[in-house]
Amino acid sequence: MHEIKPGVYYEDTYPGPTIGAVVLPRGMIFIDAPFHPEDGHRWKSTLLNRSQGTIHKILVCLDDHPDRTIGANSLDCPIVTHRDAARTLQDHSTVFRGQLPESGALWEQYPETTGLQWVIPDITFTDRMKFHWADEAVVLEHHPGPRPGSSWLIIPSQKIIFIGDTVVVNGPPFLGKAHLPTWIDTLDVLLRAKYRDYTIISGRGGPITLDDIRDLKKYFRKIHRRIDKLASRRASVEDIGDLAGKYLDDFSFLKRDREFFLQRLQHGFTQYYIRNYIPKTDESGR
């Protein structure tokens, strides 16, 4: 566990996403959850020992991705997500059955996660939500792009921001539910002078730099132009999937993970193209 500033932590040793926590005078905020229940129990116990008996607890899920939600019930507290993330989660069956295999998600490397109870959010918000558990509020804001219901948790008093999958390091991003123009706009928000002195914590790799943000923005512009061009030629879904091999090496990752991340990018490109470029038909097939 890493303490960024007094009472603000992130943890990157559990399987799954980088998670966080904010221990405040009048409550504790968990930020995402490990997907193994035993890790969730351990994380909660460690933080309760640091909090000296904090009574009020809440879990913020920064989006609906299975990596950060399938273990959420292990923290045994109310769960808050953006309204769009909650809609996706509520559409699932009660039990997690390993939907979307071969998407390059981390849970796919841990088959024991199949059978866990899906999280049902207790609280939702639309644009912004504030936690008044200290002299200065902690802010939860909607920042779509990676997924429709993606959010940030911002701690203005400490100049710390948890951004989920807005910027992913040590591997390619998830594109399957993304909208690249919106995501680029979100990266521009993160690059504003307002956040210049903030410590920025990615949900896939921990602390990041402004250069990481700029590099991802440059990459997104490049692939968006490429996909647009292929779409104008009515490229097939298979043609779009082939882009993964051309763009994978734009990212840093361990050599042993190459096939896994290639799979993630192939899935992401094809799902992105289907969702954003292929016209939807009605029930008659028109």
Q: How many angstroms separate the CA atoms of 105 and 86, rounded?
A: 19
Indicate whether 227 belongs to any domain: no
Indicate whether 169 belongs to any domain: yes
- Tell me the whole-structure pTM to 2 decimals: 0.88
Residue 83 near residue 126 (C-beta atoms within 8 A)? yes
Give every strand in the sheet of 2-5, ordered side by side: 2-5, 8-11, 19-24, 27-31, 57-60, 79-82, 123-125
Cβ atoms within 10 Å, residue 272: 21
Indicate whether 272 belongs to any domain: no
The answer for residues whose C-beta is within 8 angstroms of residue 106's C-beta and 6 or more apart is: 15, 16, 17, 35, 67
The CATH number for 6's domain is 3.60.15.10
Residue 112 near residue 147 (C-beta atoms within 8 A)? no
Indicate whether 236 belongs to any domain: no
- Per-residue pLDDT 10s for the chain (286 aa) are 899 999 999 999 988 899 999 999 888 999 999 988 888 889 888 888 877 666 789 999 999 988 888 888 888 899 999 999 999 888 755 444 445 457 766 666 655 555 556 678 999 999 999 999 988 999 999 999 999 999 999 999 999 999 999 999 888 899 989 999 999 999 999 999 999 999 999 999 899 999 999 999 999 999 999 999 888 888 888 888 888 888 888 887 778 888 888 888 889 989 999 998 887 643 334 4
pLDDT of 281 reads 42
Q: How many angstroms separate the CA atoms of 213 and 242, rounded?
A: 25
Indicate whether 233 belongs to any domain: no
In angstroms, how far is CA 13 from the centroid of its own chain?
17
Indicate whether 75 belongs to any domain: yes
Indicate whether 275 belongs to any domain: no
Q: How many angstroms separate the CA atoms of 240 and 230, rounded?
A: 8
Residue 145 near residue 63 (C-beta atoms within 8 A)? no
Could you tell me the residue range of the domain that residue 137 belongs to?
2-209
Residues facing residue 208 across a β-bridge: 200
Q: How many domains does the chain have?
A: 1
Indicate whether 237 belongs to any domain: no
